Structures are given as structure tokens and as C-alpha cells.
Chains A and B, each alone.
Chain A
């Protein structure tokens, strides 16, 4: 088993609120084309608020999320959603159970209109169109425009809107502010803050100012393992030694690059 140096392993909930976690990942291993990209990851996501998943570039944050969703091959380990195993299910069933996904590079369907992108994401007869339209009024105006013709920020709104359209148990949001202008970063962060009032979120985010604004707890990955778990993202970010060791950067806004 993996040893976790200088850590506070919290096997139950990182949030420490006493409620059961919404998502529990245990000893997850996953590979892409036979190459192991998630080595042995164990963590849980509290059932309220935003939990940050942090770590250097290439450490396996995106791969962990894809492994939870079954988008890449899982070699071992378990994933439970509200106590029920989901790691045996195919991706579409996992999502139908209530796991919303906002992928790293937005992945909107460029040739489909904004309205079609949103309609495609509606999983039942009660899509939350009002919520989505109030969060992203811009998308209403651009409903008939091809999603591929939108700016990066607008595409991110489409990608977020697709996940918020349904009544999810948890959202997995991967670097939603990546490559966006500072003003748009703020808008995306505000939308996430609003969304987090109704659904717990596991958020991968490189912009530490955004992490500060949004995240309650944090899970830190290094070398394919969870090396640090805390229910106070702020206290982690305030600890320069920890931040430098695990993220390789000083604190502060918008650090970019490897």
C-alpha cells in the first residue's frame, strides 16, 4: 500500500462535516493505452460545497476524473456514489446516476448549435432550463449559433450549462478557467459558486485565486497518489512550504505552465 508522507489522511470525508461523502474513490488505478496514469488514488468528496483537486501538471488529475467516469480504462479500485459502487458501470450509466462532467478542454460539439448542445445534455423530462438561462443569459441570445463559433469563455459556459441542465448528485469540473481572459475567469467562478449551492463539486483548478474563492476542502495529488487532504483549502494555500512542494509554485493569482 502507498505510504503518505506528512499527511493528514482523512479516509471518511475531506469536508469533515460529519455527513457521508457523495463520492468515494478507493485505490483507483487506471491506464491509457497500457500506460498507467492513475497509480493508486484514494479520496472522497464531501456532499456539500466545492472540493479542489490540486497537483502539478501531468500528475493525473484529469486522468483520475476520466477514470471515475469510466472514460479511460480502470485497472483496479472502487468508486462509490453515495455508497453505491459505480466503477462497474459504463460511462453513460455513471452519468445517468447523477455524475455531471465538465471536461478539461470544454469539448462542446462545434458543429451543433448552442441550443442543440444543451438539448443533447437533457437526460430527463425536467431539464433545469430556467436555472441555466439565468446563469448564462448570453447563451439564450446565441442559441442558434454554432458552438464552434463561440469564444473560449462562451464555450465554457455551454460546457458548464450542459452539466447544470440535470439534477446531478455531484459535478466533476476540470480546469474551467484554463486559457480564459481574467474577466471571464471571474464570471466562470461566480457561476460555479452559484451552482455549488445546489450540488457538490470536485474542481480541478490551477488558478489558486479561484481555488481560494471557491473551495472548502482540497485534495492534493503528487506522483500518482493523494499526498494531502484538508478540509480547509485556504489553510493549505497559506502554507508556502506545502504549496511549493506539491504544486511547485508560490501562492497568488493565475500561475500558468508546468
Chain B
């Protein structure tokens, strides 16, 4: 019983990290038709600079941890906004080139990060409490999971409020459905492009800091491995659907934990799930039609 509870919470924690990456990916693809391979770089840079910040402030202090979250978030947002503005925007409506340029940026970023931080993972720590566990119905739950899940929940709530309550949120929802009709109402949809990149980058940067506590290390390759699962989550949830990304994140995270613990086949099970969803619901759990660009 306690094992199941532990696996469940660990799985939700992993899902929370996936969500922080997948939410941005999904919105960016939904609105712009671009699969953003540079998203992992936003996460990695957020994690690396976040860790540098925490170290300077004192890695075991709450202030250092809080500031690392803030800095990771800002760094992710900034890099993402810059990417959209400098690389994506000049290739407006040229989707293949846009995807290629994100692939290139990702490779260049990893090489740069390795040049600065080296190729080895750097093991990190946070405030002492985060390294301890809390007894929940007999299960020893690592405390950092509570923070990760809480932050992801807040990000989800914030994104939903933004999409539902603001004019830009409305433009993004409309643009995910039919981008050209948004421009035909006299709206410059490209501003919304910069915005979804920025929001997605901020979430990824936060996700980077939290992922480094989840796995216990930072490395220039942190983003790359998470990005693959985030892509899978995005496809399972339905490209362009925030709710889909949330549900699929938790589903994939939990399934992966259980399959890993009992049969050591977590990654395999995720691929099977992807195949099953694609065969039965080609546009994902909550996706709209994918065909139209």
C-alpha cells in the first residue's frame, strides 16, 4: 500500500515536471505549427543558471532556492522570447525551416553549455527539508515532490486563468483553432507568438530548476532527455491542448513509475501508450483535428 502511494506521488511529481515542459510545447505547436526542439535548451539553461544562483545564495537556504526558481523562470522566458524574435519570426509561415532552426539552436546550446559547465552531471542539493521525507499513510514521500507538484499546479491554474480571462489568452485560443481567421479580424497574431514562446520558456525554466531537484543533478543534457518525454506527452494529450498536456503528463509520469518499479520497462510502456493513443485517437486525448495548418 505504502509502495503504491509512493509510486503514485513520485509519478505525479515526474508528471509535474513533464507538464512544465509540455505545456509550452503544446501551446507553441498549437498556435504556430512549430515543433520546438529548442525547448529543452530553455529548460537546461534555467536549471544551470538557477543552480548557479542557488549556490551563490547558499544552496541549502530557502532564499537561495526561491531565487533559483525565479531566476530559472526568467532565464527560460528570456531565451525563449529571444529565440522567437531572432530565429523564428524571420521565417514566418515557413514551418520546416522553423523546426530546423530550433534543432540547430538546441545542438548549439548543448555544445555551449558543455563548454561552460562540462559534460558531467553536477550533483546538487536544496534546503535540508527538501532532502527529507514526510510520512503519508506509511509512505515516505520525498519533500521536494510536494513543491514540484504545487508549483506545476500553480502554473497550470495561472495558464488557465490567462487563457480564459485575458484578451491575449482569447487570441491564443482562437489562433490555435484557426490562425488565419485571427489575422482576418485585424489582429497581429505574431505578438501572440512571442507571448506563447515567452510563457512556454518561463514554464520550462521553472521545470528545469525543479527537475534538477527531482533527479538530484544538473547537466547540459538534462533538457534533451526530458524533451523526448514531453513531446510524447504533448502528442498523447493532443497538440495545442493545455488540459490534454496536464492529463497526459500525469498519466505518463505515473505509468512510467509503476512500470519501472515492477518490471523496469517504464520507457517501453510510455511508447506503447503513445502507440495505443495514436491508433485509437490520432489527434490525442483532447486534441482537435491536426491536419489543418
Show the binding face of A for B, using Cβ within 8 Å: 69, 71, 90-92, 95-96, 101, 103, 107, 109-112, 116, 119-121, 123, 162, 166
State the CA gap A119–B184 with chains docked (Å): 14
How many residues from B make CB contacts under 8 Å with A? 18
Please pick, from A92, A109, A162, A166, the residue contacting B183 in the complex, using a CB distance under 8 A: A92
**A99 → chain B closest CB, angstroms:** 9
Residue of B nearest to A91 (CB): B183
Q: Is the CB of B187 within 8 A of A112?
A: no
User: Which listed segment binds A: B56-64, B166-174, B201-209, B268-276?
Assistant: B166-174
State the CA gap A121–B187 with chains docked (Å): 8
What are 9 A-B residue pairs whose CB atoms fall within 8 Å in the complex? A71-B183, A90-B183, A91-B180, A95-B185, A101-B184, A112-B174, A116-B174, A121-B186, A123-B186
For the complex with contacts A71-B180, A120-B170, 11 further pairs of A-B residues with Cβ separation under 8 Å are A69-B184, A91-B180, A91-B184, A95-B183, A96-B186, A109-B177, A109-B178, A116-B170, A120-B182, A120-B185, A162-B185
Q: Is the CB of B181 within 8 A of A103?
A: yes
Q: Do A71 and B173 form a contact, CB below 8 Å, given A92-B189, A107-B178, A109-B178? A: no
Q: Is the CB of A109 within 8 A of B181?
A: yes
Q: Is B188 an interface residue (CB 8 A)?
A: yes
Residue of B nearest to A123 (CB): B186
**A103 → chain B closest CB, angstroms:** 7
State the CA gap A218–B167 with chains docked (Å): 39
Q: Kindly list the 9 A-B residue pairs having the minimum CB-CB distance in the complex, ordered from nearest.
A: A95-B186, A91-B183, A109-B174, A107-B181, A96-B186, A92-B183, A92-B188, A123-B186, A121-B185
State the CA gap A117–B187 with chains docked (Å): 13
**A30 → chain B closest CB, angstroms:** 14
State the CA gap A92–B182 with chains docked (Å): 8
- List of B residues within 8 angstroms of A121 by Cβ: 185-186
**B293 → chain A closest CB, angstroms:** 11
- List of B residues within 8 angstroms of A120 by Cβ: 170-171, 174, 182, 185, 187
State the CA gap A69–B183 with chains docked (Å): 10
- List of B residues within 8 angstroms of A119 by Cβ: 167, 170
- List of A residues within 8 angstroms of B189 by Cβ: 92
- List of A residues within 8 angstroms of B288 by Cβ: 111
Count A-B pairs with CB separation below 8 Å.
57
**B238 → chain A closest CB, angstroms:** 12
**A50 → chain B closest CB, angstroms:** 20
Listed residue (B171, B178, B181, B288) with the most chain A CB atoms within 10 angstroms of its CB: B181
Q: 1/0 per position for B282-293, CB-CB distance to A under 8 A? A: 000000100000
Q: Is the CB of A112 within 8 A of B170?
A: yes
Q: Tell me the chain B residues, 230-257 only, with Cβ under 8 Å from chain A.
A: none
- List of A residues within 8 angstroms of B170 by Cβ: 112, 116, 119-120
Listed residue (B171, B181, B183, B185) with the most chain A CB atoms within 10 angstroms of its CB: B185
State the CA gap A9–B288 with chains docked (Å): 47
**A241 → chain B closest CB, angstroms:** 37
**B50 → chain A closest CB, angstroms:** 35
Q: Is the CB of B186 within 8 A of A92?
A: yes
Q: Is the CB of B180 within 8 A of A112?
A: no
Please pick, from B173, B181, B182, the residue contacting A111 in the complex, using a CB distance under 8 A: B173
Q: Is the CB of A71 within 8 A of B177?
A: no
State the CA gap A101–B186 with chains docked (Å): 10
**A106 → chain B closest CB, angstroms:** 10
Q: Do A95 and B181 form a contact, CB below 8 Å, given A109-B173, A112-B174? A: no
Q: Is the CB of A71 within 8 A of B184?
A: yes
Q: Do A95 and B184 form a contact, CB below 8 Å, given A112-B170, A120-B171? A: yes
State the CA gap A101–B185 with chains docked (Å): 8
**A148 → chain B closest CB, angstroms:** 9
State the CA gap A162–B181 with chains docked (Å): 11
- List of A residues within 8 angstroms of B181 by Cβ: 103, 107, 109
- List of B residues within 8 angstroms of A112 by Cβ: 170, 173-174, 177
Residue of A nearest to B187 (CB): A92
**B6 → chain A closest CB, angstroms:** 38
State the CA gap A166–B184 with chains docked (Å): 13
**A195 → chain B closest CB, angstroms:** 17
Please pick, from B173, B184, B186, B187, the residue contacting A103 in the complex, using a CB distance under 8 A: B184
- List of B residues within 8 angstroms of A92 by Cβ: 183-189
**A88 → chain B closest CB, angstroms:** 16
State the CA gap A166–B189 with chains docked (Å): 19
State the CA gap A15–B266 with chains docked (Å): 71
**B167 → chain A closest CB, angstroms:** 8
- List of B residues within 8 angstroms of A116 by Cβ: 170, 174
State the CA gap A109–B174 with chains docked (Å): 6
**A13 → chain B closest CB, angstroms:** 26
- List of B residues within 8 angstroms of A71 by Cβ: 180, 183-184
State the CA gap A91–B190 with chains docked (Å): 12
**A5 → chain B closest CB, angstroms:** 34
- List of B residues within 8 angstroms of A123 by Cβ: 185-186
